[in-house]
Amino acid sequence: MTEKVVLAYSGGLDTSVAIPYLAEQLNAEVIAVAIDVGQNGEDMEVIKQRALGCGAVAAEIVDAREEFAADYCFPAVAANALYMDRYPLVSALSRPLIVKHLVAAAEKHGATIVSHGCTGKGNDQVRFEAGLAALAPHLKVVAPARDFAWTRDKAIAFAEEKSLPIDVTKKSPYSIDQNLWGRAVETGFLEDIWNGPIEDIYDYTKNPAEEREPDEVVITFVSGKPVALDGVEKSAFELIKELNDRAGAQGIGRIDMVEDRLVGIKSREVYESPAGITLIAAHMELENVTIEREQARFKRTVDQRWGELVYDGLWFSPLKDSLEAFIGDVQTHVTGEVRLTLHAGKATVTGRRSETSLYDFDLATYDEGDAFDQSNARGFVELWSLPAKLAAARNERIKTEAA
């Protein structure tokens, strides 16, 4: 019986070569599945025809742009998700969505094998396979680039031998992954961490040093979800796309960092996430206005752990589900508007308002009408500092006795 393999297909060299290779090595029929998650500059119909031209028995395009925005990007906003306090999980957010659709395709076609184009050095192999283990543990996974030790030269030679309809001569010096939430660039001269990034590597953002007029935007949130820009309601995809354009035009969302990969190595990455950085900045500020202090303090720990789990490929995990239950509860009152100035590479909050605000002007003001009874503060400070005062007296007594 002929095996059926569902391949996560990107249209690039590695996954294109994988089609005839898997067919030969596994005596299999290959079904290519390409997921549209809002990546710029890619014609999905061209990708579909390329897969068929490389020998796939079927090729499917899944338009998951709105799903990705609403069900993956917006939860990242609610969690203020920044891995290592900087990276907005550009690639990590798309992988569980892709896994979900690979499993659906496998069920539809009766496939027993799922394949991806990841190498053994990156995080994505874990994200794909941990997701598959959670959703469909019966499926076998084959990763040609990792499992058969492919090099780029071997892949090019195989493509030429099979006369595959792909460009195998143009060699980009970078490895690039992109979607609606942002863009990730690595390898090439960036592997020397002393080398600064150059303008040529950027696509989602303009040079923040160029002179231009600032752009002001008001973002409306309802229970932690962005729902409108400048008072105009938009779908999740539309809202992120417009913010990418506007914040990207101001050079916002550029990140150059050395990060800790799950596989244990450090990697230099350059990211662009204009909408992601802007939305998280706005959401964090609205939380400052609407969330009670102790909840807010604890949520910062929850947010960090949520981001680590997603980065580590554990989107489909019990702990993430539990953390999201807390995050969802806390978002109940995160409703209101945040005004930001987008300019010179920064999204700067300049105003915030909310009907569920915990900010009380009469308590905060130092002017006439101050409702805060300052006479209560003296006793509070004395009691608050009492444990430290007692400990200091104890230490001084021991020191004196020892002398």
Alpha carbon distance 287, 78 (integer Å): 9
Active site residue 14: yes
Active site residue 95: yes
Alpha carbon distance 7, 22 (integer Å): 9
Q: For each of the domains in the chain, give its residue range(s) and CATH number, in order of start.
A: 3-172 (3.40.50.620), 176-353 (3.90.1260.10), 361-402 (1.20.5.470)
Alpha carbon distance 295, 272 (integer Å): 31
Tens-binned pLDDT, residue by residue, of the chain (403 aa): 689 999 999 998 889 999 999 999 999 999 999 999 999 877 999 999 999 999 999 999 999 999 999 999 999 999 999 999 999 999 999 999 999 999 999 999 999 999 999 988 889 999 999 999 999 999 999 999 888 877 778 888 888 888 888 876 656 678 889 999 999 999 889 999 999 999 999 999 999 999 999 999 999 999 999 999 999 999 999 999 999 999 999 999 999 999 999 999 999 999 999 999 999 999 999 999 999 999 999 999 999 999 999 999 999 999 999 999 999 999 999 999 999 999 999 999 999 999 999 999 888 888 888 888 889 999 999 999 999 999 999 999 999 999 8
Residue with tokens 């960090």: 304
SS (H, E, C) 260-298: ECCCCCEEEEEEECHHHHHHHHHHHHHHHHHCCHHHHHH
Alpha carbon distance 115, 140 (integer Å): 8
Residue from 50, 65, 95, 268 carrying the catalytic annotation: 95
Residue from 14, 246, 267, 352 carrying the catalytic annotation: 14
Q: Is 21 annotated as a binding residue?
A: no
Whether 257 contacts 83, CB under 8 Å: no
Alpha carbon distance 339, 318 (integer Å): 36
Whether 73 contacts 42, CB under 8 Å: no
Q: Is 9 annotated as a binding residue?
A: yes
Alpha carbon distance 300, 79 (integer Å): 9
Q: Is 117 annotated as a binding residue?
A: yes
Q: Is 288 annotated as a binding residue?
A: no
| Sheet with 28-36, side-by-side order of all strands | 58-63, 28-36, 3-8, 113-115, 140-142
Q: Is 341 annotated as a binding residue?
A: no
- Give one DSSP letter per residue of 160-205, joined into a string: HHTT-SS--S---SSEEEEETTEEEEESGGGGSTTSPP-GGG-SSS
Active site residue 362: no
pTM of the prediction? Answer: 0.94
Residue from 36, 71, 146, 175 carrying the catalytic annotation: 175
Active site residue 124: yes
